Structure 1
Amino acid sequence: MFSAYSGPILELDRVSYRYPGAERIIDDLTFAIGGGEFIGLLGANGSGKSTILKLAAGMVRPDTGTVRLWDKPLAAYRNKDRAKLLCYFPQHLDVSVPFTVREIVGMGMYPYDIPPAMTVDEAMDTVGLLDKADVHVTNLSGGERRRVFIAMTLIQGAGILLLDEPLANLDIRYQIEFLRLLRRLQEQKGISVIMALHDINVALQFEKVMVIKNGAVLGIGAPEAVLTGPMIRDAFEVSIELQKAEHGMYIMHEKWF
């Protein structure tokens, strides 16, 4: 169980980054993630959420600072070894390939020279797609496609999932189903989930929220402590107020015009 590890499993230590020819988008960023955490990375478009996930996944390297995975510099890992520990989901998944669910899930065996502990059928069954094993992924709904890639992650055995806006373009039913699947994996397997999002109502479902603006952390902690009116106004640059309802959710009030 990944959650049994007491120290940080992923750390960004004074990390800065700029894309070539652009202004610095991440500046002196520091935070750490523990085993089994369920964290929402909340911020407006262009706030740096996607870049933070790419830095954490090793998709881009920081200009300064260090990214550590299990207390070891991320740059020191071979690609196959890193793939056994974390998995990155880009914002736009390529589902144009004519592969079946079984074939794509089986690609999760890439890091291993011997068969991994979980079989392809077990992974598909865990995410509720065993009955669609021979269906081409192009014929699946958006929510089902995302579950295919989660199953592939289970084969890899990765203990950290970095997801960039996985709920985009999903209706509310599939958003709920996807979040419930991630929560179940977190509870049963101790997997850590870090998800970029911009929906405040979704952020309320997370154990911890990190609010990002201009590549810096404005606040981090439990949603009820972090998602205050002033914090949201600062992060999204809108004039709103939050009111706590009886069921614990927040209602946003804003004059639109």
Structure 2
Amino acid sequence: MKGLEARNLSVALAGRAILQNVDLTIPEGGVTAIIGPNGCGKSTLLRTFAHILRPSSGTVLLDGRDIAQVPPRDRARRIGFLPQSPQTPEGIRVRSLVTRGRTPHQGRFGLLSRGDHAAVDRAIALVGLQDLADRRVDRLSGGQRQRAWIALTLAQETSILLLDEPTTYLDPPHQVEVLRLARQLNADLGITVVMVLHDITLASLYADCVIGMKNGHPEFATRPGEPLQADQIRNLFEMDVHVLAHPTSDRAVIVPVQ
């Protein structure tokens, strides 16, 4: 089995159980959104998939192999992870930031090869920042800054991209900009994208599959193309909603009941 799987996965932080007995398979080659109330374990699940957190029990499988047994360099060539609100090094420019994504591919002395430079150029082009490659990252707009960080993960040339709340602190146009980019990377490069989102409608519009987390456990996982149901959202967030058809696509729009 290729891709990411959780098998009877439990994670505790500071002695408190965050994830409990999670069994989950991430669809290979699709875009998956993880939604749920604050504190339900969304980010913990993503960080455990990235092997940043270690399970208390159970296993994360990467391509059918216990991820703990995968050498770090091989893992970094397979999975790219973008945390919430990454800290930008002071004064760093876009190209220098993106170049850091080549670390798993560099030799002992960390010298950049012609192939490394080409990968950095490709990553910058994929996110549309060619004209800003020499600009300081801290002088970019919020959406541009997120694109620069995504370019860093693309420079790793991984086939799995984990995005932890990539739209946090962005205004609506920049949220859409980042999510469209995620869909574009999936469609053009076949990258498996898994992202934690707070906005239910954005999850519905931009993901093929949606996983609903509650109290450290998946309440539901939709199949590719299966629309969200009102009762799923009601049980997950304890709120009443209408699920409406999008006017120009087959996606659903989630509207709270007034």
| TM-score, normalization by structure 1 | 0.90
Are 1:59 and 2:52 matched, yes or no? yes
In the TM superposition, what are the counterparts of 1:172-183 in structure 2 within 5 Å?
Answer: 172-183=172-183
Distance in 1 of aligned mates of 2:19 and 2:254:
31
Query: Could you say what secondary structure the match of 1:135 adopts?
Result: coil
- Other-structure match for 1:111: 104
User: Secondary structure, in 3 states, of the residue corresponding to 2:26?
Assistant: strand
Does structure 1 residue 250 correspond to structure 2 residue 253?
A: yes
* Secondary structure, aligned partner of 1:8: coil
Given the alignment of the two structures, is residue 167 of structure 1 paired with residue 171 of structure 2, yes or no?
no
May I ask how many residue pairs the two structures share in their alignment? Answer: 248
**Is the counterpart of residue 130 in structure 1 residue 130 in structure 2?**
yes
What do you get for the CA RMSD once the two structures are aligned? Answer: 1.9
Q: Check the 8 A contact 2:204/2:227 in 1, yes or no.
A: no
Q: Is the Cα–Cα contact under 8 Å of residues 220 and 226 in structure 1 kept in the other structure?
A: no
- The alpha-carbon distance between structure 1 residues 223 and 173, as it changes in their structure 2 partners (threshold 3 A), is farther
Identity %: 36
Residue 173 (structure 1) shift: 1.5
Q: CA deviation at 1:8?
A: 3.1
The aligned counterpart of 2:204 is 204
The letter for the 2-side match of 1:9 is G
Q: Which structure 2 residue ranges, 5 or more long, are not aligned?
A: 108-112
Shift of 1:222: 4.3
SS at 1:148 equivalent: helix
Extract unaligned runs of 5+ from structure 1: 1-6
Answer yes or no: is 1:28 the counterpart of 2:21.
yes
Pairwise CA distance, 1:224 = 7.1
Tell me how far 1:130 sits from its aligned partner: 1.1
Correspondence for 2:13: 19
Contact 1:197/1:203 (CA < 8 Å) preserved in 2?
Answer: yes
Bigger mean CA offset, 25-34 vs 114-123: 114-123
Pair 49,250 (structure 1): closer, same or farther in 2 beyond 3 Å: same
TM-score normalised by structure 2 residue count: 0.89
Q: In the TM superposition, what is the alpha-carbon distance from 1:120 to its structure 2 partner? A: 1.7
Task: Please tell me whether the aligned partners of residues 124 and 148 of structure 1 are also in contact (alpha carbons under 8 angstroms).
Answer: yes
Task: Give CA-to-partner distance per residue, 1:134-163, whole Å, 9 cap, x none.
Answer: 111110111111111111122111111111
SS of equivalent residue, structure 1 residue 27:
strand
